[in-house]
Amino acid sequence: MDQIKWNINFPFVLFSFCVTVLVCVAVAWSYHYFRIDQWKQRVHRQEIARMLLQNGWYESEAVQSQDSFFKDLPGGSKSKEKITYFPKVYYTLDNGIIRINVRITMGKYQDQLLHLEKKLETGLFCELIVKELKESYVEYELLYDTIGSRISIEEMEISNGCLKLMDNVYWEYDTLPHMLIAGATGGGKTYFLLCIIWMLLHTNAVLTILDPKNADLADLETVLPDVHHRKEEMISCIEHFCDEMLERNEAMKRMPGYKTGENYAYLGLEPHFLVFDEYVAFMNLLGNKASMPVMEKLNQIAMLGRQSGYFIILACQRPDAKYLQDGMRDQFNFRVALGRMSELGYSMMFGEQDKDFFFKRTKGRGYVDAGNGVISEFYTPLVPKGYDFLREIGKLQRQRVGQHKERIEE
C-alpha cells in the first residue's frame, strides 16, 4: 500500500489561518456596523414621523369608503381619514451628523416646523450644531453621539487661526475672536486652559498668562516667560497688552502690503493671547473703583483685537453680569460652560435660551456656543492619566527658544 506522505508547511498554514480569522472579523464587524447604523436610521425616521403624527401637524379629510359586498348592511359604509397634506422632511445620517431638512410652506404649521430643535434634540438624543434657514426649507444639523466626537489632547490641531477642540467643534479665533470659559470648581476649566496653552505653543503665538489665585496656571512661571499672579503686575500687563494692540492697529496701516479688511496674519504678524484665569474673583478683589479701568481695557481689547491679532481667553467660576457689562460678553464669540451651573449661570453665558441643560458627572463636559448662536454639548480634549503639563509645556517652550535663536543666527 502506498504510504501517503503529508508534507505540511506549518508557517503557510498558520498564515492562512490568521488571514481567514482577520477576514471573518472584518466581515462580522462591517455587517454589525452597517446593521446598527441602518437600525438607528430606521428608528430616527419612525420617531420623526411619530412626532408629526402625534402633534397633528398634517391635514386630512374624512372620506366614505363603500364596502362593495355589504353596502346594504348597517355599517357597510365606513368613514376613513385621508391625509391631504403631510410635511416634507428629509433625513440623513452621515459620519455621526444627522441632517434634517424640513420643507417650509406658509401653512398652518410653519411656526412649529421652524422650531423643531428642542424636540429633535431630546427625541433623537443628539445635539443641535447648526440651524440654517434656506430657500423654502430649514436645515437642522445635529451631532449624534456627542461623546464619540471627543478628541484627546494629542488629536488637537491648530492652523490658519483655527483650533480644533472636538471632531466637529473648532475655535476660529481669527474670525470669531475671544473665548469665555465658565466652570465651577472641578469642572475641568484648568485642564481646558492648559490644553489650549499647550496647543497655542505649537504656533508662533505670544502668550501672557494671568492667575490671581497663584494656582495651577501660575505654576507655569517656571517654564514660560510671561506668567503673573500679583495684582499690580497683572494690572500693568493688561494695560500693556491693550497699548500694544492699539500701537499695532496703527502700525499695520503703515506696513507695505496692508490691505483694508485683512488681518495680522495677512501681514505675517504673530497673534497674541491674554489668558486670564479667575477673572471675576480678581475683579471682586479689586473692588468697584479699581476694577473699572481694568474692565475698560479688556472691553477695548475685546472690541478692537480681532484685526490686529490680540485675543482674550477669559475664565471664571461664575460669569458675573457686573464684570461683563455693556455688551462685553457678546464680544466673546466662543463661550464654554463646564461642569455644574445654575440656570442663571447658563443664561449669563448664553443669554435667554429655550434649551434644557443637563449635568453629567463626566470631567470636562459642558456646553458650547462656538460663535453661531447654537448651544451644544461639549467635551474638552481628553488628557491621559499621569500627563505632565508642566513638563510638556516646558519642552515646547525650549524648542521655541531654540528655533528663535537659530533664526537670529541666520
Which residues are part of a known binding site?
A: 183-190
CA geometry: angle 161, 277, 210, nearest 5 deg: 85
Q: Where are the beta strands (DSSP E) in 97-153?
A: 97-103, 126-134, 137-144
Query: d(Cα 162, Cα 374) in Å, to the nearest integer?
Result: 18
Q: Which is nearer to ligand ATP, 93 or 316 (CB)?
A: 316
Q: Does 149 bind ligand ATP (CB under 6 A)?
A: no
Q: Does 363 bind ligand ATP (CB under 6 A)?
A: yes
- Which three cell numbers, joined as nine digits, stand for 71? 353596502
Residue ranges in 370-399 that form contacts with ligand ATP under rule CB under 6 A: 380-383
- Which three cell numbers, joined as nine digits, stand for 219? 505654576
Which of 87, 161, 177, 187 contacts ligand ATP by CB under 6 A?
A: 187
Q: Does 185 bind ligand ATP (CB under 6 A)?
A: yes
Q: Which is nearer to ligand ATP, 156 or 162 (CB)?
A: 156
Which of 190, 263, 307, 308 contacts ligand ATP by CB under 6 A?
A: 190
Q: Does 87 bind ligand ATP (CB under 6 A)?
A: no
Q: Which is nearer to ligand ATP, 193 or 370 (CB)?
A: 193
Strand partners of residue 63: 80
Which of 161, 177, 188, 366 contacts ligand ATP by CB under 6 A?
A: 188
Query: d(Cα 158, Cα 281) in Å, to the nearest integer?
Result: 30
Q: Does 101 bind ligand ATP (CB under 6 A)?
A: no
Q: Does 40 bind ligand ATP (CB under 6 A)?
A: no
Q: Which is nearer to ligand ATP, 252 or 383 (CB)?
A: 383
Q: How far is the CB of 288 from ligand ATP (least distance, A)?
A: 25
Q: Which is nearer to ligand ATP, 130 or 281 (CB)?
A: 281
Which of 170, 191, 346, 357 contacts ligand ATP by CB under 6 A?
A: 191
Using CB under 6 A as the binding criterion, the count of chain residues that bind ligand ATP stands at 14
- What are the backbone angles phi and psi of residue 152, rounded to the nearest 5°? -90, 165
Q: Which is nearer to ligand ATP, 318 or 363 (CB)?
A: 363
Q: Which is nearer to ligand ATP, 87 or 188 (CB)?
A: 188
Report whether 274 contacts 310 (CB < 8 A): yes
- Which three cell numbers, joined as nine digits, stand for 363? 470631567
Q: How far is the CB of 228 from ligand ATP (least distance, A)?
A: 18
Task: Give, in order, the Cα–Cα distances in Å from 401 to each of 196, 203, 223, 241.
Answer: 19, 12, 11, 22
Q: Which is nearer to ligand ATP, 98 or 275 (CB)?
A: 275
Which of 183, 271, 309, 366 contacts ligand ATP by CB under 6 A?
A: 183
Q: Does 308 bind ligand ATP (CB under 6 A)?
A: no
Q: Which residues are annotated as a binding site for ATP?
A: 183-190
Query: d(Cα 340, Cα 21) in Å, to the nearest integer?
Result: 47
Other beta carbons less than 10 A from residue 215's beta carbon: 12
Q: Does 364 bind ligand ATP (CB under 6 A)?
A: yes
Q: How far is the CB of 155 from ligand ATP (least distance, A)?
A: 12
Nearest one of 210, 202, 97 to 148, comparing CA atoms? 97
Q: How far is the CB of 189 from ligand ATP (least distance, A)?
A: 4
Report whether 217 contacts 274 (CB < 8 A): no
In 3-state terms, the chain is what percent helix, strand and coil (to 5)? 45, 25, 30
Which of 107, 148, 186, 402 contacts ligand ATP by CB under 6 A?
A: 186
| Residues at the site binding ligand ATP, with contacts judged by CB under 6 A | 183, 185-191, 363-364, 380-383
